[in-house]
């Protein structure tokens, strides 16, 4: 078998093997499935605990205290409803914590009557943003009754900003005030705390959540944090009681999946922040406790202000996260393909800005990539055509020097040099497109912009597999007809037929199997990725037609 044919087969196997390596455990949800329900793939190695030997005993003691669940509140508080054009949230007077946070612009499934995505999936007494304060003794305020100054905030009208103030009596003249600030058209909020009538040494903020019910394994889902020293850390805990510790500067702490996140973003990033993430049960509930010393500087009214935080509860849209700052956009993690995937996402959003359809944006992105590769692909096509013309000469060389491999290789190299052709160049464009292929796959699978994004006709979700549903027709294991995928396979076949071939009949039959292999491989891929490959094949056919017709 000639070198170019062997390389083409090896590359095809590499694509399959590479996909299995990077995405092997992935289960792509069927159209309309709740794609927010995700767990991780490719778990990171066990993250080493950040601990000094001299502090072991103290750390374990602290861990035992912080991992303890709060008791049920003695007094039942009322609920405070917050509604904006973007979300509807419910705060509880027990702990001044979030009971619900429902995103109004994102449905759980494709069904029109599907409810909005709920970001808080734990229930009392463990709710996000509870606090402990150390003031001579540990004051666990996670379920303490806080009196709210109002019980409804409505920002769906002309108002653009509102504040809810919670206050609790700590005894002996001490009071703690917890203030939330909400904005009309932002997922970002602010939270601040203020202590009066007492001194305090440090405080601990708690974030709770658990994996979504119908979890899959194609992306990470769980607690994560970012710091200048450590970068992005996605923490996986397998057993109840298992924990992870970190001490140092902190940009943000979050709980999220591939599409949505709840993040707390300290205004003061400098440490030492002390983070302990603990798995509480077999269902995967995790508690993240974030501890920091209290700056003893007093406010103008004589009280002690501390814990100024930005909050971001919403979609992982890259532009929104960049606006928040503090490296929050790093929460969008495309893994090894991040350097390619992020630029692809920016270009995709740029095209969408003007045409308002991600299907057409993918087509324009494909055209842009094809233009970038055009000179190389054009030279490759010309080289393949020249190789076809050289077949009679190659055949004669093989007949003449068939028994002398060294001499034959020398004559072959001289022939290639004379006609300025490289037998390997035919596969080079495919080699260069493999990283783009994997990067685009990650974008289409993880980017919130593509979630439930329609294209044309039956394609109503570019992040889900392509299926044309026909009433009364149920295809086993598929449900519907993968029309786009079949067209992609057909286009690959025609592209292969148009390309110059120097293969013997046996090699040609092997190559003819590739469109079939790729069709089966793509059958459960996101329809957006299939659309990219189909358009790429069509453009390659046009390019090959031009080469065949106008190149000697």
Contact predicate 103/119, CB 8 Å: yes
Residue 180, beta-bridge partner list: 164, 191
- Tell me, yes or no, whether 154 and 258 share the same domain: yes
- Tell me, yes or no, whether 190 and 64 share the same domain: yes
Q: Is 43 domain-assigned?
A: no
Q: Is 9 domain-assigned?
A: no
- Tell me, yes or no, whether 168 and 317 share the same domain: yes
- Tell me, yes or no, whether 191 and 308 share the same domain: yes
- Tell me, yes or no, whether 289 and 355 share the same domain: no
Alpha helices in 390-504 (DSSP H): 391-401, 405-418, 428-446, 483-498
Contact predicate 105/178, CB 8 Å: no
The pLDDT assigned to 508 comes to 62
pTM greater than 0.85 (yes/no): no
CA–CA gap between residue 290 and residue 246 (Å, rounded): 10
CA–CA gap between residue 67 and residue 126 (Å, rounded): 11
CA–CA gap between residue 284 and residue 287 (Å, rounded): 10
β-pairing, 79-83 with 152-154?
A: parallel
DSSP secondary structure code for residue 115 in this structure: P
Contact predicate 493/515, CB 8 Å: yes
Domain boundary among 333, 362, 383: 333
CA-closest candidate to residue 189, choices 105, 98, 126 = 98
Q: Is 19 domain-assigned?
A: no
β-pairing, 231-234 with 222-227?
A: antiparallel
Q: Is 177 domain-assigned?
A: yes
- Tell me, yes or no, whether 369 and 265 share the same domain: no
Contact predicate 491/531, CB 8 Å: no
- The alpha carbon torsion through 258, 262, 268, 271 (nearest 10 deg) reads -70
CA–CA gap between residue 168 and residue 175 (Å, rounded): 6
- Tell me, yes or no, whether 377 and 314 share the same domain: no
CATH code assigned at 203: 2.70.98.90
CA–CA gap between residue 66 and residue 68 (Å, rounded): 5
- Tell me, yes or no, whether 227 and 268 share the same domain: yes
CA–CA gap between residue 29 and residue 268 (Å, rounded): 40
- Tell me, yes or no, whether 213 and 285 share the same domain: yes
CA–CA gap between residue 251 and residue 195 (Å, rounded): 24
Tokens at residue 109, please? 């499934």
CA-closest candidate to residue 466, choices 419, 523, 538, 403 = 523
CA-closest candidate to residue 163, choices 144, 185, 148, 142 = 148
Backbone angles phi, psi at 250, to 5 degrees: -145, 120
Tokens at residue 40, please? 């991780």
The pLDDT assigned to 68 comes to 53
CA–CA gap between residue 462 and residue 158 (Å, rounded): 35
CA–CA gap between residue 130 and residue 307 (Å, rounded): 12
The pLDDT assigned to 429 comes to 65
Count: domains in the chain: 2
Q: Is 10 domain-assigned?
A: no
- Tell which phi-psi region holds residue 318, choosing left (phi > 0), alpha (psi between -120 and 50) or beta: alpha
The pLDDT assigned to 331 comes to 92
Q: Is 5 domain-assigned?
A: no
List the domain range (segments joined by +) for residue 287: 59-69+78-333
CA-closest candidate to residue 254, choices 447, 119, 83, 66 = 119
Tokens at residue 516, please? 């079939």
Name the residue with tokens 């920002």: 155
Query: CA 51 → CA 62, 77, 86, 203, distances in Å?
Result: 13, 39, 41, 20
DSSP secondary structure code for residue 474 in this structure: -
- Tell me, yes or no, whether 258 and 211 share the same domain: yes
- Tell me, yes or no, whether 386 and 519 share the same domain: yes
CA–CA gap between residue 434 and residue 294 (Å, rounded): 51
- The alpha carbon torsion through 230, 235, 241, 243 (nearest 10 deg) reads 0
CA-closest candidate to residue 174, choices 143, 144, 211 = 144
Domain boundary among 333, 363, 390: 333
> Is the torsion defined by CA of 110, 187, 265, 241 positive or negative?
negative
The pLDDT assigned to 402 comes to 66
CA–CA gap between residue 106 and residue 88 (Å, rounded): 12
Q: Is 33 domain-assigned?
A: no
CA-closest candidate to residue 221, choices 417, 41, 12, 366 = 41
Contact predicate 189/263, CB 8 Å: no
Per-residue pLDDT of the chain (552 residues; tens, 9 = 90+): 444 444 444 445 455 445 444 444 443 333 333 333 333 333 233 333 333 333 344 434 444 444 455 554 556 789 999 999 999 999 999 999 999 999 999 988 888 888 999 999 888 888 999 999 887 788 899 999 999 999 999 999 999 999 999 999 888 788 899 999 999 999 999 999 988 887 788 889 999 988 764 445 567 788 999 998 889 999 888 889 999 999 999 999 999 888 899 999 998 888 789 999 999 988 889 999 999 988 766 555 556 777 789 999 999 999 999 999 899 999 998 888 888 999 999 999 999 999 999 999 999 999 998 888 777 776 776 677 677 677 777 777 777 766 667 777 777 777 777 766 666 665 666 677 788 878 888 887 788 888 888 998 889 888 888 888 777 767 776 768 888 999 989 988 888 777 655 555 666 667 777 888 888 888 888 888 899 889 988 988 887 777 777 665
CA–CA gap between residue 51 and residue 41 (Å, rounded): 28
Q: Is 17 domain-assigned?
A: no
The 3-state DSSP class for residue 222 equals: strand
The pLDDT assigned to 75 comes to 67
Domain boundary among 308, 333, 358: 333
- Tell me, yes or no, whether 325 and 402 share the same domain: no
């Amino acid at each position: 078998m000639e070198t170019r044919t062997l390389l083409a087969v090896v590359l095809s196997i590499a694509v399959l093997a590479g996909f299995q390596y990077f995405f092997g455990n992935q289960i792509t949800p069927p159209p309309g499935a709740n794609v927010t329900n995700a767990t991780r793939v490719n778990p990171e190695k066990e993250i080493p605990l950040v601990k000094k030997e001299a502090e072991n005993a103290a750390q374990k003691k602290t861990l035992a205290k912080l991992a303890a669940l709060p008791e049920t509140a003695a007094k039942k508080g009322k609920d405070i409803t917050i509604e904006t054009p973007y979300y509807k949230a419910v705060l509880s007077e027990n702990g001044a914590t979030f009971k619900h946070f429902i995103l109004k612009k994102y449905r759980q499934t494709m069904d029109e009557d599907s409810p909005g995505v709920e970001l808080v999936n734990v229930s009392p007494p463990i709710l996000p943003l509870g606090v402990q304060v150390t003031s001579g003794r540990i004051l666990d305020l996670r379920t303490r009754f806080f009196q709210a100054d109002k019980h409804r905030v409505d920002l769906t009208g002309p108002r653009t900003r509102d504040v809810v103030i919670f206050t609790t009596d700590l005894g002996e003249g001490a009071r703690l005030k917890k203030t939330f600030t909400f904005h009309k058209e932002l997922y970002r909020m602010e939270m601040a705390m203020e202590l009066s009538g007492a001194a305090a040494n440090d405080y601990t903020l708690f974030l709770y959540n658990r994996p979504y019910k119908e979890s899959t394994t194609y992306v990470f889902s769980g607690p994560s944090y970012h710091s200048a020293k450590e970068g992005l850390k996605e923490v996986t805990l397998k057993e109840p009681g298992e924990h992870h510790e970190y001490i140092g500067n902190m940009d943000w702490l979050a709980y999220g999946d591939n599409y949505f996140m709840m993040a707390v973003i300290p205004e003061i990033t400098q440490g030492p922040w002390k983070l302990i993430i603990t798995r509480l049960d077999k269902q995967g509930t995790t508690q993240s406790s974030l501890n920091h010393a209290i700056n003893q500087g007093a406010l103008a009214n004589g009280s002690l202000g501390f814990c100024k935080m930005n909050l971001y509860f919403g979609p992982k849209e890259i532009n929104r996260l960049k606006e928040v700052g503090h490296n929050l956009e790093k929460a969008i993690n495309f893994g090894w393909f991040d350097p390619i995937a992020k630029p692809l996402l920016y270009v995709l959003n740029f095209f969408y800005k003007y045409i308002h359809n991600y299907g057409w944006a993918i087509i324009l992105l494909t055209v842009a990539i094809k233009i970038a590769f055009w000179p190389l692909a054009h030279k490759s096509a010309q080289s393949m055509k020249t190789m076809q013309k050289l077949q009679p000469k190659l055949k004669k060389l093989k007949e003449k020097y068939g028994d002398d491999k060294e001499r034959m290789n020398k004559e072959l190299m001289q022939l290639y040099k004379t006609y300025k052709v490289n037998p390997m160049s035919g596969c080079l464009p495919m080699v260069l497109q493999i990283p783009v292929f994997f990067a685009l796959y990650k974008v289409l699978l993880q980017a919130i912009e593509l979630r439930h994004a329609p294209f044309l006709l039956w394609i109503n979700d570019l992040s889900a597999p392509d299926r044309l549903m026909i009433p009364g027709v149920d295809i086993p294991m598929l449900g519907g007809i993968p029309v786009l995928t079949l067209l992609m396979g057909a286009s690959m076949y025609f592209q292969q037929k148009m390309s110059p071939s120097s293969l013997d009949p046996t090699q040609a039959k092997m190559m003819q199997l590739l469109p079939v292999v790729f069709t089966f491989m793509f059958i459960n891929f996101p329809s957006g990725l299939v659309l990219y490959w189909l358009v790429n094949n069509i453009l390659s056919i046009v390019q090959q037609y031009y080469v065949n017709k106008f190149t000697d």
